[in-house]
Amino acid sequence: MLVITCPYCQEAREEEEFSYAGEAYIARPAVPEEADDATWGDYVFHRKNPRGWHWEQWQHVAGCRKVFAVKRHTVTYEIAGSWTLADGKALYLKEQA
Amino acid sequence: MSGYRIHRPGERINRQKPVSFQFDNVQYKAFSGDTLASALLANGVRLIGRSFKYGRPRGIVGFGAEEPNALIQLETGAHTVPDLKATQVELYQGLLAGSTTGYPSLDFDLKGLLGKFGRFMPPGFYYKTFMEPVKAWPVYEKYIRKAAGYGHAPVLPDPESYDHLHHHIDVLVVGGGAAGLWAATLAGRAGLKTLLVDEQAEMGGWLLTERRSRIDGLSGMDWVSQRLAELASLPNVSVLPRTTAFALHDLNLVQAVELLQDHLPLTERNAALPRQRLHKIRAHQVILASGAIERPLVFGYNDVPGVMTAAAGHSYLNRYGVAVGREVLVQTQNDAAYEAALDLAQCGVKVMLADARQGGAAAWRQQALKSAGVELLLGHGIAKVLGDKSVSGAQLVKLDGRNNQVVGSGPRLSVDTVLSSGGLTSTVHLFCHNGGRPVWNQQQLSFVCPDEGRDNIACVGAITGRWELSEALGQTHAAVAALLLGHGRGSSGNAPSVASEEVAAPRAIFRLPDGKPEGHGAKAFVDYQNDVAAADIHTAIRENYRSIEHVKRYTALGFGTDQGKLSNINGFAIAAEALGKPIAEVGTTTYRPSYTPVTFGALAGPHVGETFDVRRYTAMHASHDARKAEYEVVGQWLRPWYFPKPGEDLHAAVNRECLATRNSVGVMDASTLGKIDVKGPDAREFLNRIYSNAWSKLDPGKCRYGLMLDENGMVMDDGVTACLADDHFHMTTTTGGAARVYSWLERWHQTEWPELKVRFTTTTDHWATVAVVGPDSRQVLQKLCTDIDFDKDAFKFMDGRSGTVAGLPARVFRISFSGELAYEINVDANYGRYMWEEVMKAGAAFNITPYGTETMHVLRAEKGFIIVGQDTDGSMSPNDLAMSWAVGMKKPFSFLGKRSLLRSHTAGDGRKQLVGLLPLDPKVVLAEGAQILSNTDDTVPAAMQGHVTSSYHSAFLGRSIAMAVLKDGSKREGDTVFVWAHGKSVPAQVVSSVFVDKEGVRQHA
Amino acid sequence: MPKQGFQPFMESPLHHFKLDAEAQARRADGRIWCNELPHLGYAVLRGDTAEAGFAQLVQQVTGLALPLQAGAVSQGPQGVLMWTSPDEWLLVSHRQRLADWTAQLDGGFAAQQLFAQTVDSSGGLTLAWLGGTEHITVLRHLGVYDFESIPLGHMVSTVLGKATVQVIRLDGDGVFVLFRRSFADYVWRLLRRAAQPYGFAVCQLEARGDHPLFAQLAAPRPSLILA
């Protein structure tokens, strides 16, 4: 069981208080109608599924219900940190750059 | 009589408390403090079981968790526990136990005959032999199962209770031997919240057996008492005996099971207390001090009852006052076993010691043995043990000094007991449960934990390969001091002082050679519990299994309830030799939880019976009970299924309920529907994005049915949402989808559209909802409420009103899931039962009929209304459901799922679509889930056209009806299809899925 | 409003356990003492702390400071206000007073055009008090949160068994466990089961003027609250 820090409740809590909410920072095409089938299909279905560091969303369902970003290692389960979605996004974009 | 009692100073039994017990229906006497194993040995009982595969006689080998043979059935009836190790069962007055093997009896076992032809039973014997004919396997299996296996699971419900306890601590110490006690002392003195667990009833570990060492000038057990007294005085330290840490998970989550009452007679157990407790421990720091287990050597017929580990013989003597034999041969390759020989000899047992080393142990030990009258046979090994159901002697051979070869014959000794020691194996299990790997130590001949441990796991004592007490305590002190420093704490005191002694190196030998090619001599067992012999490992390798994991699976090495605690290293070493590789390269198999077996009861804890799962009840439940409702579980809710009158079955009740509702008035508890308060200036815009239909023009006081799609364009939920004010909506969801939808709204809002000013609050539990349904429902409402105008033109279908119903503030919605004139009354749930009863009173004049979910299903199916999750399965688009009317393709924002509806696959032909089906025989109710075929003569495998999703007898129509999803169904109205179930195909006609009141006159009445 | 002779009655979520019938006076021994505080008023308060006037209005109407720290609880003689999320609080008080408060708050929010609201949850929630020497141990039997570490005057939202609950610790004497109506039967059975080794008993809860929640027991139970 993971121990995840909720950036809103500002406390490390056990995994059972949270619900996994998928990969973080997937961009929804701004004008879906203009996206071709391949682009749209990629957005709906394709996920990174990396072996290593992964930016993901967790929701504190048994707590404040907020969704936030977690950077987690999929092999070691190490958690580098958790951030509000906005704070995490800045860091995420810097990493991607 | 082989074993017998002997007084030992410091023995751990209480001679003042004799107890009697039964084993295999024979009464015996022993003492409080005995284990079942020590008690049986003291009574001279050697034959405890029959082996798994060959039915060979087997006796007790070890003295703790490592025991492979002595699996017993404890107690009878509801209290019976299978396959406990006799070495771990604490004796109590009146204990009942029996052997678990032996068919037809322990003394004469049929498999014993097979065992005589053992060389014809290689690994995979059963698979290789009973392959053909395939049909005969059940017959073979019946007899094989009877003859094989161990204990039997209880068939009665467990009368005892179990619980869980969570810990959040600084330091967990696993193991209460010298190293663990010292580690806990240091952590405790440093003020850290510390928990020490040990699987045994008494702390002390090997000090319980070994009596010569002095620590800080004290005898071992006096030092243990001193430690325990100090730990008890520290409020930040807890000590749990009888508690086995059996699993270590990520981030130092350790699970341990505490046997709270297993050691008490059944009649003395406290019913208010659990039998066992599962501890779930989160520790910042885990200190593993789980010690080491002595492994036996592998030699011919090393499984004859009376062959044990030297540590076992030593422990039975010093802990329980039981000499395991009168004439004992100790076979070793290391110094430690000399201690057992010495103690036995000093008690008057005739002892001989064979050492595989030419030079033997350190000189002082050899001298001590000689002085005690022990005959020493250096450079000797056992070729085979003599005897059948008990040891009668041993044939020795002379060993080459360097290679593991026989260089000459040895004496044939007449002994009644053989103790062997192949060295110690570190108990590395927990360290390895979540990915840690042990390292091979060629000096100590064991896989050990690395000195440095790993992140927040320290390893101290014998687990690191330090067999000598002085070294073990020195390393413990240093490791814990370093750890405390890391936590910013100092350590107090010096390392306990223990005199160090000269030790001769052990010999790297695991399988004692007998001079014959492997497989031709006497069987030499590696894994007793699974009857894996040295030759079997050679066979596996000859048959080209190379990975030790594969060898394990082919031979079953280490698969038993002992998990290879005695056999693994010997097995790896033999495999290494056969492969011609060093042991370090062969490696170990994977260590997985549990370390020792854990009962299902402990794992389930409080989550059994009435607290097994959440049962959710509505506020009106007592009213349903009073009206004798039958219930069904929907999600976690308990909902009335139907309300049978005396003598009615489900069908009779549902027919009556349906007709009453269509003809006069019915009433249903609709409280379980999910309800979400949606409010904010952007609430409307949010609804436009989350629902497929349009919300811009819904005025306050109006309701609308909404379809929720996932991004793939498939229906995920539906429900009616009422507009309370321009910025305020009362959303409803399906009963099962409430939590999912609530989370769905939050996620889209928070992740994608945080700029929208809208908030969601669950009100599912706040509102109790009574649905009043049927042509007379208006009159019922009018009797209860005077401040709402119920005129058909003032309060129209899909309108909502706030008013006072039965004296209470209420939200009333004129919505219908039956196609009838219907109202849903929502009130504060504390008044829910009151409201239900008031509706019943007001409806009495109209024969108001309560109905449950089954009638609700029939009524909605008659109208072709879908149930998400029954008529849809996550692959149905609104189009597939003929619900394009609920999709606002012209809405400005591209709502969830919209773009996917345009994908070629979603928009193309050949999709399954919702249709109605009328069986040609109106009396036939189709099976839900039945596959649909195009032709009656289709044979398996046939092209499946779809399946029946809902099917009922409609009392109102006087015939059966069904809903189905059918390939290209929207174009197939009028076709006849064939519904296949239970070996028959039934013809049915494809029709519209609206069976009743296609024009909707009734609901608009 | 004509009531046409209707006589509405309330039933709390734990009504069916008939706790009053088995309640006994609390003693100082090691038992686990427990009972429901039925029929309190609950409202979810939503708002944006960045909006000027929001916190002031809440303080002005309820007399309770808006708690801004995670898990913090504001206490006053008339009720409590708990932080549950950065834009969400739970207000607990006597039903009638709560109804007055929420009416004033919603009126104020509308007048000041604040993006804020109250949502009545009085029908959907209930509160059990759990006391006795081992009350924290009982929670440790059921939930993975480190209950020993909850500071006084704080609330934590977590899981007991398979139910989400809020544990409110106002003093060292006991805790309040808040849960949803439909889960009440399950949570109660779970507490009762976990407390069994220590001796579980239902106790009479007495009105205590100095206590924000026990104080509410003093007021007469309303037969009807018109929102």
Same domain, B142 and B169: no
Q: How many domains does chain C have?
A: 2
Cα–Cα distance measured from residue B298 to residue B321, given in angstroms and rounded to the nearest whole number: 28
Domain boundary at C120, C149, C176, which? C120
Go through B316-337 and write b for each residue having 16 or more CB atoms within 10 A of its CB, e for each that does not: bbbbbbbbbbbbbbbbbbbbbb
pLDDT digits (tens, 9 = 90+) for B764-787: 999 999 999 999 999 999 999 999
pLDDT for res C221: 66
pLDDT digits (tens, 9 = 90+) for B588-624: 999 999 999 999 999 999 999 999 999 999 999 999 9
Same domain, C131 and C179: yes
The answer to whether C192 contacts chain B (CB < 8 Å) is no
Average the pLDDT over C98-115 and give the result: 97
Same domain, B985 and B932: yes
Asked whether the beta carbons of residue A1 and residue B250 sit closer than 8 angstroms, the reply is: yes
Asked whether the beta carbons of residue A67 and residue B747 sit closer than 8 angstroms, the reply is: yes
The CATH number assigned to the domain holding C207 equals 3.30.1360.120
Which chain B residues are Cβ-neighbours of C3 within 8 angstroms? 807
Model confidence at B266, in pLDDT bands (50, 70, 90)?
very high
pLDDT for res B130: 65
Same domain, C28 and C137: yes
Cα–Cα distance measured from residue B505 to residue B444, given in angstroms and rounded to the nearest whole number: 8
The answer to whether B261 contacts chain C (CB < 8 Å) is no
Q: What is the largest CA-CA distance in chain B?
A: 114
B331: Cβ contacts below 8 Å, ≥ 6 apart: B297, B299, B337, B353, B354, B356, B381, B382, B418, B419, B420, B421, B512
Residue B48 falls inside a structural domain: yes
pLDDT for res C3: 47
Average the pLDDT over B314-318 and give the result: 98
Same domain, B641 and B770: yes
Strand order in the sheet with A79-84: A19-23, A53-59, A67-73, A79-84
Cα–Cα distance measured from residue B889 to residue B878, given in angstroms and rounded to the nearest whole number: 12
- B676 vs C209, which has greater pLDDT? B676
The CATH number assigned to the domain holding C72 equals 3.30.70.1520
B163, β-bridge pairs: B277
Same domain, C31 and C143: yes
Same domain, B386 and B464: no
Q: Neighbours of A (≥3 Cβ pairs closer than 8 A)?
A: B, C
Residue B502 falls inside a structural domain: no
Same domain, B381 and B324: yes
Q: How many domains does chain B have?
A: 7
pLDDT for res C2: 43
Which chain A residues are Cβ-neighbours of C86 within 8 angstroms? 8, 64, 66
Same domain, B40 and B117: yes
Where do we find the tokens 């009159």? B779
Asked whether the beta carbons of residue A66 and residue C70 sit closer than 8 angstroms, the reply is: no
Residue C222 falls inside a structural domain: no
Cα–Cα distance measured from residue A63 to residue B15, given in angstroms and rounded to the nearest whole number: 57
A14, β-bridge pairs: A3
Please give the residue range of the domain that contains residue C94. Answer: 40-120
Model confidence at B342, in pLDDT bands (50, 70, 90)?
very high
Pair of tokens at residue B359: 């030079």
Same domain, B185 and B309: no
Which residue of C71, C86, C144 is in closest CB contact with A16? Answer: C144
Which chain C residues are Cβ-neighbours of A61 within 8 angstroms? 164
Same domain, C75 and C113: yes
Report chain B's mean pLDDT, rounded to a whole number. 94
pLDDT digits (tens, 9 = 90+) for B23-79: 999 999 999 999 999 999 999 999 999 988 888 999 999 999 999 999 999 999 999
Same domain, C95 and C27: no
For the ranges B383-397, B652-666, B935-949, B979-993, the lowest mean pLDDT is seen at: B935-949
pLDDT digits (tens, 9 = 90+) for B154-211: 999 999 999 999 999 999 999 999 999 999 999 999 999 999 999 999 999 999 999 9
Q: What letter does residue B702 receive in the DSSP assignment?
A: B
Same domain, C56 and C104: yes
- DSSP per-residue letters across B923-985: TPPPPTT-EEESSTT--SS----EEEEEEEEETTTTEEEEEEEEETGGG-TT-EEEEEETTEE
- From the candidates B716, B894, B896, which should be mutated to test the interface with A, based on the most A CB atoms within 10 A? B894
The CATH number assigned to the domain holding A85 equals 3.30.2270.10
Q: What letter does residue B874 receive in the DSSP assignment?
A: S
pLDDT for res B125: 67
- From the candidates B615, B730, B766, B835, which should be mutated to test the interface with C, based on the most C CB atoms within 10 A? B766
B134: Cβ contacts below 8 Å, ≥ 6 apart: none
Cα–Cα distance measured from residue B244 to residue B58, given in angstroms and rounded to the nearest whole number: 26
Domain boundary at C120, C149, C171, which? C120
> pLDDT exceeding 70 applies to what percent of chain B?
96
Domain boundary at B739, B762, B785, which? B762
Which chain C residues are Cβ-neighbours of B602 within 8 angstroms? none
Among all residues of chain B, which has the CA nearest to that of C182? B616
pLDDT at residue B120 is higher than 60: no
Cα–Cα distance measured from residue C5 to residue C227, given in angstroms and rounded to the nearest whole number: 19
Q: Spell out where C116-188 has E strands.
A: 117-120, 125-131, 154-160, 163-171, 174-180
Asked whether the beta carbons of residue B900 and residue A44 sit closer than 8 angstroms, the reply is: yes
B760, β-bridge pairs: B678
For the CA atoms of B120, B123, B129, B134, the dihedral, rounded to the nearest 10 degrees, stands at 170
Residue C226 falls inside a structural domain: no
C19: Cβ contacts below 8 Å, ≥ 6 apart: C35, C36, C202
Same domain, C63 and C127: no
* CA B987 to chain CA centroid, nearest Å: 46
pLDDT at residue B789 is higher than 70: yes
The amino acid occupying position B429 is H
pLDDT at residue B445 is higher than 80: yes
Residue C53 falls inside a structural domain: yes
Cα separations in angstroms, B580 against B572, B584, B586, B666, B1005: 12, 12, 10, 82, 90
pLDDT digits (tens, 9 = 90+) for C9-50: 999 999 999 999 999 999 888 789 999 999 999 999 999 999
pLDDT for res B114: 61
Same domain, C85 and C135: no
Average the pLDDT over C93-116 and give the result: 97
Report chain C's mean pLDDT, rounded to a whole number. 93
Please give the residue range of the domain that contains residue B795. Answer: 621-671+766-859
Residue B216 falls inside a structural domain: yes
Same domain, B91 and B123: yes
Same domain, C107 and C178: no
Same domain, B658 and B794: yes
Residue C6 falls inside a structural domain: no
Number of other residues whose CB lies within 10 A of the CB of residue B270: 11
The CATH number assigned to the domain holding B981 equals 2.40.30.110
B126: alpha, beta or left? (left if phi > 0; alpha if psi -120 to 50): alpha
Model confidence at B637, in pLDDT bands (50, 70, 90)?
very high
pLDDT for res C31: 87
Asked whether the beta carbons of residue C159 and residue A16 sit closer than 8 angstroms, the reply is: yes
Same domain, C34 and C81: no
Same domain, C56 and C154: no
Within 677-716 of B, beta carbons closer than 8 Å to C belong to 677, 679-681
pLDDT digits (tens, 9 = 90+) for A28-68: 999 999 999 999 999 999 999 999 999 999 999 999 999 99
Same domain, B112 and B72: yes
pLDDT at residue B111 is higher than 90: no
Residue B406 falls inside a structural domain: yes
Pair of tokens at residue B769: 């909802």
Angle at C165 between CA C161 and CA C168, to 5 degrees: 125
Asked whether the beta carbons of residue B808 and residue C224 sit closer than 8 angstroms, the reply is: yes
Cα–Cα distance measured from residue B980 to residue B941, given in angstroms and rounded to the nearest whole number: 12
Same domain, C133 and C103: no
* Number of cross-chain residue pairs from A and B with Cβ atoms under 8 Å apart: 50
The answer to whether B827 contacts chain C (CB < 8 Å) is yes
Residue C1 falls inside a structural domain: no
pLDDT for res B466: 97
Asked whether the beta carbons of residue C85 and residue A8 sit closer than 8 angstroms, the reply is: yes
B477, β-bridge pairs: none
Model confidence at B491, in pLDDT bands (50, 70, 90)?
confident
Go through B919-946 and write b for each residue having 16 or more CB atoms within 10 A of its CB, e for each that does not: beeeebbbbbebbbbbeeebeeebeebb
Average the pLDDT over B385-389 and give the result: 95
Average the pLDDT over C214-225 and give the result: 73
Among all residues of chain A, which has the CA nearest to that of B248? A1
The amino acid occupying position B909 is D
Within 753-792 of B, beta carbons closer than 8 Å to C belong to 757, 759, 761-768, 786-787
Which residue of C70, C144, C159 is in closest CB contact with A8? Answer: C70
Average the pLDDT over B570-587 and give the result: 96
> pLDDT exceeding 90 applies to what percent of chain B?
90
Domain boundary at C95, C120, C145, which? C120
Q: Neighbours of B (≥3 Cβ pairs closer than 8 A)?
A: A, C
Cα–Cα distance measured from residue B865 to residue C106, given in angstroms and rounded to the nearest whole number: 38
Among all residues of chain C, which has the CA nearest to that of B617? C182
Number of other residues whose CB lies within 10 A of the CB of residue B591: 22
Residue B496 falls inside a structural domain: no
The answer to whether B623 contacts chain C (CB < 8 Å) is no
Model confidence at B86, in pLDDT bands (50, 70, 90)?
very high
Is residue B364 within 8 Å of residue B502, measured between CB atoms? yes
Same domain, B462 and B532: no
Residue C3 falls inside a structural domain: no
Please give the residue range of the domain that contains residue A20. Answer: 3-96
Q: How many domains does chain A have?
A: 1
Read off φ and ψ for residue B419, nearest 5 degrees.
Answer: -110, 135
Same domain, B65 and B142: yes
pLDDT for res B148: 63
Pair of tokens at residue C67: 């708690």
Strand B703-709 vs strand B715-725: parallel, antiparallel, or unpaired?
A: antiparallel
Distance (Å) from the alpha carbon of B489 to chain A's nearest alpha carbon = 24
Within 4-43 of C, beta carbons closer than 8 Å to B belong to 4, 6-13, 15-16, 39
Which residue of C70, C88, C144 is in closest CB contact with A11? Answer: C70
Considering only CB atoms, which residues of chain B are within 8 Å of chain A? 249-251, 253, 282, 711-712, 743, 746-747, 750-752, 754, 894, 898-900, 902-904
